[in-house]
């Protein structure tokens, strides 16, 4: 079974999300799919997905708290209102743009692990590390597992090379397989690839050795393309 996860990031309004949901709903009512589909919409549109069957809803982020004084954040008391038990942790945009440290990421991971959340945990190297070769790339990636329980039963990993995210530059099959094989030797968890996955390459990427699915941003924001991605990988 292939896992397809869609990360809306800061895209779509409530209105356009409703249109997306209605389109996806129509498709899912008429088509049976074996894939696991996970969508991470913006926090303001989480409720618009309530009507979609066979689709797991996740939060792109949340603070390691039930509630409290953490301006701008959301905690589990808010997530519970939407029945959300899935979270994306360690995404490169949170690491590199929002400045989350490995320590903060590990703290968040442990908090959500204790609550039994399904965690999609992202790892991946920047370009200057990739250019130093596979060994350095793996060293960098393994540092991103510090403080993370890789035996956690509800863990899904996503390898997302930073240089491939939102750039249109997809990693080559060799790049993907080399890293995926090495990670899988150490950690036997579902491992997705993410970084400029597109309608045209999703099938090939998902059929590579040790690739269990894809975490997709840009290419999944258009409702027709989202369905085409599901069709191509079912
Ligand atoms: C990312 C990827 C997938 P894109 O940032 O994680 O979510 O985005 O597909 O746009 O490279």
Question: Is the beta carbon of 217 within 6 A of some atom in ligand 1?
Answer: yes
Ligand 1 midpoint to CA 161 (Å): 10
Region 148-152: mean pLDDT is 98
Q: Is the ipTM reported for this complex over the cut 0.90?
A: yes
Is 160 catalytic? The answer is yes
Region 15-31: mean pLDDT is 95
- 77 phi/psi in degrees, rounded to 5: -65, -30
Query: Active site residue: 91, 93, 100, 125, which one?
Result: 91
pLDDT classification of 52: cutoffs 50, 70, 90: confident
Asked if residue 217 has pLDDT above 80, the reply is yes
Region 78-86: mean pLDDT is 96
Question: Is the beta carbon of 171 within 6 A of some atom in ligand 1?
Answer: no
**The ligand 1 atom nearest the CA atom of 197:** 9
Ligand 1 midpoint to CA 69 (Å): 31
Which helix (H) or strand (E) element contains residue 66?
none
Contact 47, 18 (CB under 8 A): no
Question: Is the beta carbon of 197 within 6 A of some atom in ligand 1?
Answer: yes
Q: 10 vs 164, which has greater pLDDT?
A: 10
Which residue among 6, 10, 194 is best mutated to probe the pocket of ligand 1, counting the most ligand atoms within 8 A of its Cβ? Answer: 194
Retrieve residue 31's tokens.
């088509």
Retrieve residue 74's tokens.
């959301």
Question: Is the beta carbon of 161 within 6 A of some atom in ligand 1?
Answer: no
Q: How many domains does the chain have?
A: 1
Question: Is the beta carbon of 119 within 6 A of some atom in ligand 1?
Answer: no
Query: Of all protein residues, whose CA lies closest to atom 7 belonging to ligand 1?
Result: 217
Boundaries of domain holding 125: 3-233
Exposed (0-12), middle (13-18) or buried (19+): which is 101, by Cβ within 10 Å? exposed
**Tens digit of pLDDT for each residue in 166-190?**
787 888 999 999 999 999 999 999 9
CATH number for the domain spanning 176: value is 3.20.20.70
Is 139 catalytic? The answer is no
Q: Where are the alpha helices (DSSP H) in the chain?
A: 14-30, 76-81, 92-96, 102-114, 127-130, 134-143, 173-186, 202-206, 223-233
Q: What is the distance between the alpha carbons of residues 77 and 56, in angstroms, rounded to a whole number?
A: 19
């Amino acid at each position: 079974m292939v896992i397809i996860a869609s990360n809306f990031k800061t895209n779509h309004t409530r209105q356009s999300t409703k249109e997306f949901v209605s389109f996806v709903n129509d498709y899912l009512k008429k088509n049976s799919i074996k894939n696991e589909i996970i969508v991470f919409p913006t926090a303001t549109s989480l409720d618009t997905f309530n009507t979609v069957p066979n689709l797991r809803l996740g939060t792109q982020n949340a603070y390691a708290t039930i509630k409290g004084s953490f301006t701008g954040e959301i905690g589990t008391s808010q997530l519970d209102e939407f029945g959300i038990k899935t979270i994306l942790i360690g995404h490169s945009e949170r690491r590199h743009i929002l400045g989350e440290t490995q320590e903060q990421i590990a703290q968040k991971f442990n908090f959500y692990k204790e609550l039994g959340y399904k965690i999609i945990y992202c790892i991946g190297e920047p370009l200057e590390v990739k250019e130093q070769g596979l060994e350095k790339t793996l060293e960098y990636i393994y540092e991103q597992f510090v403080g993370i329980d890789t035996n956690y039963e509800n863990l899904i990993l996503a390898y997302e090379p930073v240089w491939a995210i939102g750039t249109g530059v997809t990693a080559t099959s060799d790049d993907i397989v080399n890293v995926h094989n090495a990670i899988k030797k150490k950690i036997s968890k579902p491992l997705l690839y993410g970084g400029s996955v597109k309608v045209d390459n999703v099938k090939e990427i998902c059929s590579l050795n040790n690739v269990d699915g894809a975490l997709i941003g840009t290419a999944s924001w258009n409702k027709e393309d989202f369905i085409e991605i599901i069709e191509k990988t079912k």
